[in-house]
Each structure stands twice: as structure tokens, then as C-alpha cells.
Amino acid sequence: MKVKVKLSENVIVEADGANTLEVFEQLAQLTEIFGEQYCGKCEGKNNKGLKYVLRKSSDKSKKKEYKYFELHCQDFECRAKLHFGQSEDFVFPKRYEIDDEGNKVKDDNDRNIVAGKWGWVIYNKETGKEE
């Protein structure tokens, strides 16, 4: 069973599975990754679009390569980023603040604190952090 879904004017995703459960799982993952239609920080006010970015770095001593998946706002006045985390076989948007140990930061009511504006962040030179 194949299903195509138009997420925006420029993005169409396709899922293929033996049954509706498999197709739904694929569509859920694809929509979460490719469903962003505009920057969450500036809300696409200047309609400049988004760019999918893959950065790579390596640790030669460990013979390991690291990949960093990001979505960038193309508005020069904004330039916000949405970072993606990864598991073995898929990526997901990182929407919450993370501490130095890799744990989600909690508020006084034990709720996760959202990073920036629903995960969209801009580097602040004064604080040295993405906000």
C-alpha cells in the first residue's frame, strides 16, 4: 500500500507499507521531519524559506564520524535553526532544552522546558547560548 501526502507546496512525502499501521508510522515520522512549513522563530514573515542542512565532523582518534541534521531559516534577519536528534534509523526535531549531561531541563513543575520558540533557536553572542 502506497500513500502520498502533500505537506506543502514544495514537499510531498510517500509512505509504503504492507498495512495501514506501517504506512501510518512512516507518515508520522516523515510529517514530523518534513512538515515544517516556515521558521518557528520569525514565523516566515519574509517568506524566504527553509533549508535542510547536514553537517559532518569526525573524531580521528576514535575513527568515528558525527552527523548533525538541522533546518535553517533562510531569512538573513532571522537565521534560526531547528536541530534534529537521531537514533539508529531515524531523526527527530529537538524541541527541548538539554543540559550538559544530555538530559532534558525541567521547570519547577517537572515539565520539560521548550528551547527557543518550539525548538527554533538563534545563537546569542552575549550569553554564548542558543535561545
pLDDT score at 100: 86
Divide the 131 residues of the chain into consecutive groups of 10 and give the mean pLDDT of each group: 92 96 96 93 89 92 89 95 91 91 92 93 92 90
Residue 24: DSSP 8-state = H
Which pLDDT value is given to residue 63? Answer: 83
Q: Give the three cell numbers for residue 4.
A: 502520498
Q: Which pLDDT value is given to residue 9?
A: 84
- pTM for the model: 0.85
How much is the pLDDT for 43? 92
Q: Are 12 and 6 in contact (CB under 8 A)?
A: yes
Full DSSP string of 63-118: TEEEEEEEEEE--TTT--EEEEEE-SS-EEE--B-B-TTSPBPB-TTSPBPBPTBT
**Domain spans, the chain:** 1-35, 38-130
Overall residue count recorded for the chain in this entry: 131
